[in-house]
């Protein structure tokens, strides 16, 4: 029997003095959160600039833009790429307002452009994200002195050179007390301690978010309910379930919404991750669902049906086995859907990715489950007219 997405969704149920109460997140202003990550490396080979977030129409549909990544070093928040962040002079052609950066005048680089973007879209809130897959090793040391870490982050966010630009912070620790690129034994209270210290240092009006794994096996390693209590939301990384290391197959969609007959791991779905987060005691209104603006693919495949063998990862523009939606939508359009996401078979390659249609269904799921909204990793993978961001907005705020 086939269960619709909506039917399935319906089944989801400065430091303070010690005596002072913990600051709580500011109350939600209402409406779903539509969040997009912008990476500091987008402006290099991809030539995706802050200006493109505006001209594509994405900025008008986003509620939050998350700038990735700052780094965590010696227990402190640090800039990740100073050249891209604030040193690089931006030309008039790449500038949000058509004016080139001039030496000695104003803030340069992505930060200068983000300030111009916020001036053009006053309702857009900007967060600075720290960590990421390759940048999470420093969190374990930071967690040993959370107040010092939080104070360093507050100083950096309020640096006079870009004061007022950032509305808060995103912590992307992959993965506390578990294994990401590296393993740590920080303990289940390490991340909650960092987020609590950040809330104290930044105050109740700052926006604080934290990324959480989509892998249900990792969700028990940390007290994510305690994280959610102090954060405005937690961002469930519900993608990359398949296709990141299994180069010989079987082919499977990297971001299925629901399980399907023959799925290699039944719990490797968005729905399973959301259910687990709810089981951990995290309110639905504190969960933001993650979607990828890219596909994962294999080559040497002889069957369009999911579950086929492969000879390796498909060739991608920037990385083997990975390609932007904006490219795949032209070069290898969908040939089917399974588990609530799309797949494509062309020229011996098999790709899986979300389309505007499947994203609208995922957003309907998020609405029905009472989730806080959705976030996208990351904006450069979209089309020039922001088809995926527009689908997120349409799905989360239907007429």
Catalytic machinery residues: 174
Contact 68, 38 (CB under 8 A): yes
Contact 334, 355 (CB under 8 A): yes
Q: Using CA atoms, how far apart are residues 196 and 193, in angstroms rounded to an integer? A: 5
Extract the tokens encoding 383: 């089309």
The SS3 of residue 180 is: coil
- Give, to the nearest 10 degrees, the angle between helix 146-157 and helix 190-202: 40
- Minimal CA–CA distance to 177: which of 229, 222, 243? 222
Half-sphere exposure of residue 165: CA atoms within 13 angstroms, side-chain side: 23
For residue 171, the cross-strand partners are 130, 210
The SS3 of residue 212 is: strand
* Alpha helices, H only, 269-386: 270-279, 325-331, 356-368
The SS3 of residue 225 is: helix
Q: Using CA atoms, how far apart are residues 267 and 137, in angstroms rounded to an integer? A: 27
């Amino acid at each position: 029997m086939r269960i619709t997405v909506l039917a399935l969704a319906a089944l989801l149920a400065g430091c303070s003095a010690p005596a002072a109460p913990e600051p709580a997140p500011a109350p939600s202003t209402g409406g779903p959160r539509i969040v997009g990550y912008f990476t500091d490396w987008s402006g290099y080979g991809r030539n995706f600039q802050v200006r493109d977030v505006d001209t594509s129409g994405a900025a008008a549909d986003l509620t939050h833009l998350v700038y990735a990544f700052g780094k965590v070093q010696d227990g402190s928040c640090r800039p990740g790429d100073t050249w891209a962040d604030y040193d690089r002079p931006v030309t008039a052609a790449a500038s949000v307002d058509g004016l080139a950066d001039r030496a000695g005048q104003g803030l340069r680089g992505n930060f200068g452009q983000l300030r111009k973007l916020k001036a053009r879209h006053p309702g857009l809130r900007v967060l600075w994200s720290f960590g990421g897959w390759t940048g999470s090793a420093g969190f374990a040391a930071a967690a040993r002195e959370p107040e010092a870490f939080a104070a360093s982050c507050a100083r950096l966010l309020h640096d006079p050179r870009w004061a007022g630009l950032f509305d808060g912070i995103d912590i992307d620790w992959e993965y506390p007390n578990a294994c990401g690129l590296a393993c740590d034994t920080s303990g289940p209270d390490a991340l909650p301690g960092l987020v609590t210290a950040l809330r104290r240092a930044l105050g109740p009006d700052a926006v604080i978010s934290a990324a959480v794994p989509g892998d249900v096996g990792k969700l028990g390693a940390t007290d994510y309910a305690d994280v959610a209590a102090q954060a405005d939301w937690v961002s469930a990384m519900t993608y990359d379930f398949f296709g990141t290391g299994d180069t010989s197959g079987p082919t499977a969609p990297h971001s299925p919404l629901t399980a399907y007959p023959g799925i290699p791991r039944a719990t490797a779905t968005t729905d399973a991750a959301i259910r687990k987060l709810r089981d951990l005691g995290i309110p639905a209104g504190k969960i933001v669902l993650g979607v990828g603006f890219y596909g994962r693919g294999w080559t040497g495949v002889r069957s369009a049906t999911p579950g086929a063998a492969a000879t390796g990862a498909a060739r991608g523009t920037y990385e083997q086995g990975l390609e932007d939606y904006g490219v795949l939508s032209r070069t290898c359009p969908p040939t089917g859907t399974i588990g609530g996401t799309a797949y494509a078979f062309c020229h011996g390659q098999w790709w899986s990715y979300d389309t505007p249609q499947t994203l609208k269904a995922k957003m309907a799921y998020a609405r029905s489950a009472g989730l806080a909204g959705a976030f996208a990793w990351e904006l450069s993978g979209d089309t020039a007219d922001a088809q995926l961001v527009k689908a997120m907005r349409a799905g989360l705020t239907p007429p």
